[in-house]
Structure 1
Amino acid sequence: MNIEEQSVVEVELDSLNSAGSPRLSGESPEHVHVLAAAQSPLPPIVVHRATMKVIDGFHRVKAARLRGAETIEARFFDGDEAEAFVLAVRLNVRHGLPLALADRKRAAERIIASHPQWSDRRVATVTGVSPGTVGDIRKRTVPGRTPESRRVGQDGRVRPLDGSAGRMLAGELLAANPGLSLRQVARAAGISPETARDVRNRLHNGDDLVPRQCRRKTPAVLVAAREDFTEELLARRPELVAQGPSQRSGRSRTDIAPDRAMLVKRLKADPALRFTETGRNLLRLLALHTLRKEEWDAIINNVPPHCTDIVADLARQFADLWSEFAVRIKDDVAQIG
C-alpha cells in the first residue's frame, strides 16, 4: 500500500491518539517550535484509521496545536497495528527528524517480535540499522526460540534460512530423476537454478551437496528444514515424489537395482550421516563398493596369481562382516521399533 496515493482529509486534533511513537524520548520541543513558526502549511500526517493513532507526524500535530489549529490534514492507513508500527518506523527513518539509533534498535526488536518471519535484511531496511545488528538483536531477544527454516526477504519472496535443506532435497530429486531440468529442481526445492546446477555437479562428482562454508546449522535443524521442504514439495509437485524412481525415469526396476553409486550418493546427502564421524566412516566404506562391473572385472583380472588366495580369503571375511553388519542393523531397528 502506497500511503502517498491515499486521499487527504481534514481530521480534528482532539480525535487523534498520540500513543505508540517509535521515539523513546518523545518529540523534540525545538523541532516542534521550528515547524510552528514556519509560514508554510504542514504536510499531511498519517493516521491509523482503526485506532486513530498517529503513525507519522507527531511533531506536526504538536506544531498545529501551537498554531491554534483545531484540525490537520491527514491520510489514513487501514492495516493492523503491527503493520502501522512498521510504517511509522519506515516513514520516520526516511524523512523529517530522523530516529535516534536507540529508537531504531528498539523498533527493530519490536518488528522482530511481530514479524519473526522477516529476514534480517528486510528488518534492517525498515529500521535503518545494519543486517548484522538486526541479527544480534534477534539472538538476544529470542535466545531459546527454534529458528525458522525460511524467511521473507525484501522482495516478498520466501527463502530458506539455510540453503542446506534445499540442496539436499535437490540432490534427492536429481538422483531419482536425472532428466529433471534445473529450473524444475530449483522451483521444487526452493533454491536458485544456479544452486541446482552446483548440486547436480556435486552429485555427479560424488562431493558433499552442501559446501563446508554453508554448514551453519546443527543436523537436527537441517533435518527439520528438509522435512519442511519435502512437505511443501508434496503439496506443490506430487508427481515428482509420488512415483517410484523407475516410473519417473522410464527405466526398469532391474536397471536401477544395481545402481549402488546412486544410492550411496543419496546417503551422502543425509545430514545424519555426513555430520557425524561414524556416519562419514560408513559412507567411506560404502563408497569403496560403488565401482562399475567393468572396473571390478579389471581388478579381478589384474590380481597377481601369488596373491589370489589371500585376496579371496579377505574378500570372504569382509563379505561375512558385511552380512553380520546387515543383520545387526536390521535387528537394532526392530528392537527400537
Structure 2
Amino acid sequence: MTPEEEDIKRQPVVAMEIGSLSVSGSPRLAGADPVHVEAIVAVQGDLPPILVHRQTMRVIDGAHRIQAALRRGETTIAGRFFDGPEDEAFVLSVWLNVSHGLPLALADRKRAAERIAVSHPQWSHRRVAAVTGISPGTVAEIRRRVTGAAAPGEGRIGQDGRVRPLDSSAGRLLAGRLMTENPSLSLRQVAKAAAISPETARDVRNRLLSGAELVPARRVRGAAQPAARNTDRDRRALNLVRPGDRPEPMLDRSAVVERLIGDPALRYTDSGRNLLRLLMLHARWTKEWDTIVDNVPPHCTDVVTDLARQFADLWADFATRVGPGASVAS
C-alpha cells in the first residue's frame, strides 16, 4: 500500500447522501461505463467506500459505485472525505482511476496530463507519467505544446520528491568519475552522490563499459520518431496492440494486471484483493530488479537466494493448480 493509500484509509468512513454529491470534473470524459456499473451491481455485499472532496463534494473516486448504488435503490453510500486543494483532488482522482478500477482511456489520461502539467509545472515528466499512466516521453510532448507548462527554475521534482536539474550533464560526468575511481559503488550510491536517478546512473555505467560519450547528444532531427514509439507504448498499455505488433513483455504484464484490478470479482473480495496485491508488487517493481540486486547486502545473499527459489516454486505450483486442465476439488 502506498503512503497516499494509507492516508486515505486513515480517514473515517461516513454515510453520504448520494444526492449531495457531484461527479463533474471527472477525468473520465465519457462518463460512467454501463457494463462496469452492471458488473458492480452484481457484486454481493457492501461496496468499498468512495472518496469525496469535502470542499466541493465532488467525487474523486467511486462514480461507478454511485451508479451501482442508485441501481440498487440506495440513497446513501459509504465514503471518505479528502481535504485539500482542488488541483490535488484532481491529481488524486487521476491516480486512483489509473491504479485501480476501470482504467482511464488513453485520451482521458492525455487530457489529464495536460491539466497536471499546467497545475504542477515543477513536476518531472516521470512524476506526471506515474500519475497519468502514460510514458514520460508522451508527457514531454504534451508539456512542449501546452501553454504555461514550462517548469520554473532549473529543476523539477521527481517521483521520490527530490529536485533534480533539467540538465543532467554535470551529474553524468560526476557519476562517470565516481564509477571510475570507486568501481565497488552501487548504482544507488552513485546516483545519490551525483544527484541523478538510478536509471541515469545505469546508463552512465553502460556508456563507460562501451566507451560511448557519457552525455548523449541531444536529438534534433527525427524528433517525430520518439513520439511514434511513445504512441505505440501507450497503445500497448491499453492492450490495443494490432495484429503483427510485437508488444514489450513488461508493459504487457502491467496492462494485464491493470485489467485484473478493474474486475469486481477480484477487487471486491478479500482473496481477490490479496491476489491483486501480490501481482501488483511484481508488475510495479520489475523495472527495479537491477537496483534491488545491486543492493542486496553480501551477508544476506544466501538467505535471499533460497527464499527467491522457494517463492518461485510456490508461484509455479500456483500456476499448475489454477491453470487450464487443473483438477477441481470436489
TM-score, length-normalised on structure 2?
0.51
Report the CA distance shift for 1:147/1:215 in structure 2 as closer, same or farther (over 3 A). farther
Are residue 213 (structure 1) and residue 224 (structure 2) matched?
A: no
- In structure 2, stretches of 5+ residues that fail to align are 175-190, 205-212, 220-330
Q: Does the Cα contact within 8 Å between 2:23 and 2:58 map onto a contact in 1?
A: yes
Q: What is the rounded CA distance, in whole Å, between the counterparts of 2:43 and 2:160 in structure 1?
A: 39
Report the CA distance shift for 1:148/1:138 in structure 2 as closer, same or farther (over 3 A). farther
Q: What is the rounded CA distance, in whole Å, between the counterparts of 1:46 and 1:39 in structure 2?
A: 21
Q: What is the rounded CA distance, in whole Å, between the counterparts of 2:12 and 2:84 in structure 1?
A: 16
Report the equivalent of 1:229. none
Report the equivalent of 1:48. 53
For residue 213 of structure 1, what is the amino acid of its counterpart? V
Are residue 119 (structure 1) and residue 119 (structure 2) matched?
A: no
Report the equivalent of 1:151. 156
C-alpha deviation, 1:129, in angstroms = 0.7
Compute the RMSD of aligned alpha carbons. Answer: 3.7
C-alpha deviation, 1:37, in angstroms = 3.2
Q: What is the rounded CA distance, in whole Å, between the counterparts of 1:98 and 1:4 in structure 2?
A: 21
Q: What is the rounded CA distance, in whole Å, between the counterparts of 2:85 and 2:39 in structure 1?
A: 32
Q: Does the Cα contact within 8 Å between 2:117 and 2:149 map onto a contact in 1?
A: no
> Structure 1 stretches (4+) deviating beyond 4 angstroms?
143-148, 164-168, 186-192, 214-217
1:74 partner SS: strand
C-alpha deviation, 1:27, in angstroms = 0.9
**For residues 247-286 of structure 1, what are the alpha-carbon distances to aligned partners after superposition, in whole Å with 9 as ceiling and x for unaligned?**
xxxxxxxxxxxxxxxxxxxxxxxxxxxxxxxxxxxxxxxx
Are residue 88 (structure 1) and residue 54 (structure 2) matched?
A: no
Q: What is the rounded CA distance, in whole Å, between the counterparts of 1:4 and 1:92 in structure 2?
A: 16
Report the equivalent of 2:112. 107
**For residues 271-329 of structure 1, what are the alpha-carbon distances to aligned partners after superposition, in whole Å with 9 as ceiling and x for unaligned?**
xxxxxxxxxxxxxxxxxxxxxxxxxxxxxxxxxxxxxxxxxxxxxxxxxxxxxxxxxxx
Q: Does the Cα contact within 8 Å between 1:33 and 1:63 map onto a contact in 2?
A: yes
C-alpha deviation, 1:108, in angstroms = 1.0
Report the CA distance shift for 1:95/1:70 in structure 2 as closer, same or farther (over 3 A). same
Q: What is the rounded CA distance, in whole Å, between the counterparts of 1:155 and 1:65 in structure 2?
A: 40
For residue 31 of structure 2, what is the amino acid of its counterpart? G
Alignment of 1:239-318 (within 5 A): none
Report the equivalent of 2:239. none
Report the CA distance shift for 1:23/1:76 in structure 2 as closer, same or farther (over 3 A). same
**For residues 86-131 of structure 1, what are the alpha-carbon distances to aligned partners after superposition, in whole Å with 9 as ceiling and x for unaligned?**
1111111111111111111111111111111111111111111111
Q: Does the Cα contact within 8 Å between 1:89 and 1:126 map onto a contact in 2?
A: yes
Report the equivalent of 1:131. 136
For residue 62 of structure 2, what is the amino acid of its counterpart? G
C-alpha deviation, 1:190, in angstroms = 5.8
- In structure 1, stretches of 5+ residues that fail to align are 171-185, 199-210, 218-337
Q: What is the rounded CA distance, in whole Å, between the counterparts of 1:188 and 1:66 in structure 2?
A: 57
Larger Rg: 1
Q: What is the rounded CA distance, in whole Å, between the counterparts of 1:42 and 1:137 in structure 2?
A: 36
C-alpha deviation, 1:31, in angstroms = 1.4
C-alpha deviation, 1:75, in angstroms = 1.0
C-alpha deviation, 1:142, in angstroms = 3.4
Are residue 71 (structure 1) and residue 73 (structure 2) matched?
A: no
Q: What is the rounded CA distance, in whole Å, between the counterparts of 1:74 and 1:33 in structure 2?
A: 20
Q: Percent identity?
A: 61
Q: Does the Cα contact within 8 Å between 2:143 and 2:149 map onto a contact in 1?
A: no
2:159 partner SS: coil
C-alpha deviation, 1:39, in angstroms = 2.4
TM-score, length-normalised on structure 1?
0.50
Q: What is the rounded CA distance, in whole Å, between the counterparts of 2:149 and 2:114 in structure 1?
A: 15
1:47 partner SS: strand
1:213 partner SS: coil
Alignment of 1:180-219 (within 5 A): 213=215
1:73 partner SS: strand
Report the equivalent of 2:40. 35
C-alpha deviation, 1:32, in angstroms = 1.4
Q: Does the Cα contact within 8 Å between 1:162 and 1:216 map onto a contact in 2?
A: no
Report the CA distance shift for 1:42/1:146 in structure 2 as closer, same or farther (over 3 A). closer
Q: Does the Cα contact within 8 Å between 1:117 and 1:151 map onto a contact in 2?
A: yes
- Higher relative contact order, chain-length normalized (CA < 8 Å, sep 6+): 2
For residue 25 of structure 2, what is the amino acid of its counterpart? G
Q: Does the Cα contact within 8 Å between 1:49 and 1:76 map onto a contact in 2?
A: yes
Report the CA distance shift for 1:143/1:4 in structure 2 as closer, same or farther (over 3 A). closer
